[in-house]
């Protein structure tokens, strides 16, 4: 399964246009059932709002895309929100934009801009990440080999998880699945064919704001 862009967490963003409040809530979601639960929750929370507009994109192999204008003029609300997700190629995400009418009509163009901007604020708050599959490796070596391998790891920009120092050295690394074959070849060449990385397991992960986050494998659709 290929890497994809999504959001790290549920979050909320808000804008005000001519006294109308647009509260945008974003949720990472992998199934339409999750989306339905999310929509029901927000409709209950914002029961007194004028509109609860939504859009979502779910799936990997087979993409599901849906939106609702929820009473706004056709294609002025839900479609602009969906377009933001499409433009950024963000998947497994639902955005709901709740509107409290402020008394001034925004017009077709104004609505499109307001809903688009609100969706962008939600994505900013939720933090857009790239999820991809990584392979965890360890490499056992003696101290005479350590310097060369450390230099190679640093030069390649690989993620060093930890290093154990005992009678020998065990180095653990996280390598993108797409780079795994090249990584193994590089280590073999750097060590004059004396070292071979050992795979410990695979995990889906993403890095945001200098921190690594780990996830269950996405559901294939």
Query: Could you read off the pLDDT of 183-219 as tens digits, one per residue?
Result: 999 898 888 889 999 999 999 999 998 899 999 888 7
Q: Quote the pLDDT of residue 86.
A: 97
Q: Quote the pLDDT of residue 221.
A: 56
Same domain, 67 and 34: yes
pLDDT mean across residues, the chain = 93
Number of helices (H), then strands (E), belonging to the chain: the values are 5, 11
| Last residue within a domain, chosen from 78, 101, 126 | 126
Q: Can you give the CATH number for the domain in which 208 is found?
A: 3.30.70.240
Q: Which domain holds residue 154?
A: 133-215
In a domain, 122, yes or no: yes
Same domain, 78 and 13: yes
| Last residue within a domain, chosen from 126, 143, 173 | 126
Residue 150 has pLDDT above 60, yes or no: yes
Q: How far is CA 100 from CA 53, 70, 95, 116, in A?
A: 11, 13, 16, 16
Q: Quote the pLDDT of residue 132.
A: 93
Same domain, 211 and 191: yes
Residue 16 has pLDDT above 90, yes or no: yes
Same domain, 144 and 43: no
Same domain, 40 and 115: yes
Same domain, 35 and 60: yes
Same domain, 34 and 103: yes
| Last residue within a domain, chosen from 72, 92, 126 | 126
Same domain, 45 and 141: no
Q: Report how many domains make up the chain.
A: 2
In a domain, 205, yes or no: yes
Partners of 17 in beta bridges: 20
Q: Can you give the CATH number for the domain in which 86 is found?
A: 3.30.230.30
Q: Quote the pLDDT of residue 218.
A: 82
Same domain, 120 and 137: no
Same domain, 181 and 82: no
In a domain, 84, yes or no: yes
Q: Quote the pLDDT of residue 125.
A: 97
In a domain, 196, yes or no: yes
133-169 in b/e form (b: 16+ CB < 10 A) is: bbbbbbbebeeebeeebeebbeeeebeeeeeeeeeeb
Same domain, 75 and 184: no
In a domain, 59, yes or no: yes
On whether the CB atoms of residues 95 and 55 are closer than 8 A, the answer is yes
Q: Quote the pLDDT of residue 220.
A: 63
Q: What is the mean pLDDT of residues 116-131?
A: 97
Tokens encoding 1: 């399964």
In a domain, 220, yes or no: no
Same domain, 121 and 12: yes
Instruction: Give residue-wise pLDDT tens across range 36-90.
Output: 999 999 999 999 999 999 999 999 878 999 999 999 999 999 999 999 999 999 9
Confidence of residue 14 (pLDDT cuts 50, 70, 90): very high
pTM, rounded to two decimals = 0.88
Instruction: Quote the longest CA-to-CA distance of the chain.
Output: 75
In a domain, 221, yes or no: no
Q: Quote the pLDDT of residue 156.
A: 84
């Amino acid at each position: 399964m290929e890497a994809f862009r999504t959001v790290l967490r549920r979050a909320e963003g808000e804008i005000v246009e001519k006294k109308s409040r647009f509260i945008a809530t974003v949720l990472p979601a992998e199934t339409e059932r999750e989306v339905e639960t999310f929509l029901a929750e927000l409709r209950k929370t914002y029961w007194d709002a004028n509109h609860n507009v939504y859009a979502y994109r779910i799936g990997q192999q087979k993409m599901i895309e849906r939106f609702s204008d929820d009473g706004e003029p056709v294609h002025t609300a839900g479609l602009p929100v969906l377009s933001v997700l499409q433009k950024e190629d963000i998947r497994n995400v639902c955005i709901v934009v709740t509107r409290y009418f402020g008394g001034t009509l925004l017009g077709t163009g104004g609505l499109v801009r307001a809903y688009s901007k609100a969706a962008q604020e939600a994505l900013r708050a939720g933090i857009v990440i790239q999820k991809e599959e990584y392979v965890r490796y360890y490499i056992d070596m003696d101290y005479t080999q350590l310097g060369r391998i450390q230099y190679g790891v640093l030069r390649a920009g690989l993620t060093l998880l930890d290093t154990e120092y005992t009678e020998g050295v065990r180095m653990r690394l996280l390598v993108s699945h797409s780079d795994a074959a090249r990584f193994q070849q590089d280590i073999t060449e750097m060590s004059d064919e004396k070292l071979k990385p050992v795979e410990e397991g695979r995990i889906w992960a993403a890095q945001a704001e200098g921190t690594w986050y780990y996830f269950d494998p996405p559901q294939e659709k």
